[in-house]
Structure 1
Amino acid sequence: MQRTRLDIARIQAAREVIDPIFLDTPLYRCEALEPGLGCTVSIKLETANPVRSFKARGTELIASLLAGSGSRAVVCASAGNLGQALAWSGRGRGLDVTVVASRFAPAAKLDRIRALGASVELVDGDFDMARERASAVARHHGVRLVEDSLDIETCEGAATIGLELVDTVPSFDVVLIALGGGALATGVGHVIKARAPGAEVICVQPLGAPAMTLSWRERRVVTTGPTSTIADGVAGRRPIPAVLADLLLVADDAVLVQEASIVAGMRMLLHHAGLVVEPSAALGIAAILEDRDRFAGRHVVTIVCGGNVDMDAYHRWVGAPPIHDS
């Protein structure tokens, strides 16, 4: 395999730095999903931790490095999950964390960032505008800018999920990975290609936020106009060249799914797996729903990557949970 920016030895070492509360998250076969999907389905549940997403695996590495260097201030742009994770990791190490976010980000995510002790600055635009503002704040104040997916720690932290997959599941045919900025896809994909090269790595993105998928298909950075998707966690418009270069080496395919399929995936995860997830976490299920023949009879692993969702919006999309008599 050609070399990505990632390194297996560093990924293994990362497990010694990351708080164990974020490691070895549940991984299990979910038979209740299988009749509706037509394949064997295993779930890697990255919502079972204090920030309800995989992002803290990377922020733990970053915060440890900063604390060790004596640096105390850090800023990032976030659609919500990275901000929560950095706030959590920074709070435990005495860091001053600022998170720049769109004022249109889910209120539940913003409230949780504040509750974890970080300062929040809002911009009147989307995630990419928040990225620009976070960069300006870092330059002006001379503090560390955390750039999700560009900072190798965010990718190698996410890659520890891949180690857990290959060490736990005897064999699987496909892993479906939500694709946004690319940290999760490049991290897990790197490990799969190194340790389980027979497995297919498929990245999944909403049709309404297709920048990274279009870039993967054309093998060059493709920027897009405004996004239109409920999956706010993966709604970027401007791929990072270095991340795309890594993705081209580890992804076997990148597919786009419709909003209705994302909602259907969320509904299936609620009714058949008892999981309340954010839209980005249902992208893998959505991909199976849209192309059942491709996955028929195969063992598919999907990473349920986040559970931070505004419940009012969730009920509008999915409907209220069923009520059962005791």
Structure 2
Amino acid sequence: MRLELARVLGARGQISREFVETPQYECEALGEVLGCRVVLKVETLNPVRSFKGRGTDTVLARLQERGTANAVVCASAGNLGQALAFGGRARGIGVTVVASAAANPLKIERMKAFGADVVLVEGEIEAALETAARIADETGAFLVEDSKDIGTCEGAATIGVELTELPGALDAVLVSLGAGAMASGVGFAVKSLREGTEIICVQPEQAPAMTLALRAGRPVEVGAPDTIADGVAGRYVIPEVLDDLSAVADDAVLVTEAGIVEAMRLLYRHAGLVVEPAAALGVASILESNGRFSGKTVATILCGSNVTPTDFAHWIHGTPPST
């Protein structure tokens, strides 16, 4: 286990106030529909509309402490890049983000608005990471690798710390799973402070790399992701993150694309919240759980809301999709 509780607790004081102490509350209307007590942890009410600012601020603060924070570069599908750009601008650190040319246009627009130099490449996120690594080698910029960089995990772990401060019982935390920073971080914090709470990771059936690796105990070759949940659509597994996650995850489940869309609808209708597909995975897992959570208290982290209005309207109301 690479994470340390003392560093996680220390990160709470390093992260900009916009990103911490986020709302967490029981949504009774949603719970009535789902048949369990549902606690929503809302990570979308901040300048970058996602939880990623916790991790990027932790990384940047630690770089500044070491005096090595002149410039940074990352590969991102959008949310990490936005958060790094926002934090870099606030701290006077130059930021380059490499993204796929097929990435969410809203996310690319916001990265640029926050002052990042955005480089677009053909291919998936792995192609973007190769380019980012090359830029780091050529320029000396620090390469921020989501999930592999322990700061991204320990920053995300502060979400788990806050969840453990909820009063009353907490039977399970449902965590969206992509590369693993949030899942391993939240899982570590919750298991450290509320050992009896289950940590259940949730991933799309059409982007199952980390889930299949958890089940097999090793990375498993999978095909290219094909999911609307672009924020968790990685194909490859980082071995160190798999080790961390294996130590804290009680289960990992896969959900359908239809389930993700229905979960987004329920969150909109019963909680009044706009979320991107990756943020709806926890609710989707309750929908498809065959009563597993009946009568229990479960928390789910709404990790982002960077979705274009056209796409959201298509998924929620059935209007024509964006082109």
Please, what TM-score do these two structures have when normalized by structure 2? 0.96
Establish whether residue 207 from structure 1 lines up as the match of residue 205 from structure 2.
yes
Contact 1:37/1:292 (<8 A) preserved: no
Query: Which position in structure 1 is the counterpart of 2:5?
Result: 8
Match of 2:40 among 29, 43, 49: 43
Query: Which position in structure 2 is the counterpart of 1:155?
Result: 153
Instruction: Return structure 1 stretches of 4+ with deviation > 3 angstroms.
Output: none
Segments of structure 1 that go 5 or more residues without pairing to the other structure are: 322-326
Query: Which position in structure 2 is the counterpart of 1:218?
Result: 216
**Amino acid corresponding to residue 227 of structure 2 in structure 1:** T
In the TM superposition, 1:48-197 aligns within 5 A as 48-68=45-65, 69-197=67-195
Greater shift after overlay, 58-67 or 201-210? Answer: 58-67
Match of 2:19 among 3, 17, 22: 22
Report percent identity of matched pairs: 56
Segments of structure 2 that go 5 or more residues without pairing to the other structure are: none
**Amino acid corresponding to residue 189 of structure 1 in structure 2:** G
**Amino acid corresponding to residue 73 of structure 1 in structure 2:** A
Counterpart secondary structure, 1:105: coil
**Amino acid corresponding to residue 29 of structure 2 in structure 1:** A
Counterpart secondary structure, 1:58: helix
Query: Which position in structure 2 is the counterpart of 1:246?
Result: 244
Counterpart secondary structure, 2:200: strand
- Name the Cα RMSD after superposition: 1.2
CA distance in 1, matches of 2:131, 2:206: 24
Q: Deviations over 1:23-42 (max 9, x none)?
A: 10000000010121010000
CA distance in 2, matches of 1:241, 1:223: 13
Shift of 1:65: 2.5
Counterpart secondary structure, 2:292: helix
**Amino acid corresponding to residue 137 of structure 1 in structure 2:** I
CA distance in 1, matches of 2:233, 2:142: 24
Greater shift after overlay, 169-178 or 81-90? Answer: 169-178
Query: Which position in structure 2 is the counterpart of 1:273?
Result: 271
Greater shift after overlay, 279-288 or 55-64? Answer: 55-64
**Amino acid corresponding to residue 150 of structure 1 in structure 2:** K
Please, what TM-score do these two structures have when normalized by structure 1? 0.95
CA distance in 1, matches of 2:31, 2:176: 20
Q: Deviations over 1:192-240 (max 9, x none)?
A: 1111111110000000000000000000012322110000000000110
Contact 1:67/1:95 (<8 A) preserved: no
Establish whether residue 299 from structure 1 lines up as the match of residue 297 from structure 2.
yes
CA distance in 1, matches of 2:62, 2:294: 44
**Amino acid corresponding to residue 58 of structure 2 in structure 1:** L
**Amino acid corresponding to residue 249 of structure 1 in structure 2:** A
Counterpart secondary structure, 1:294: coil
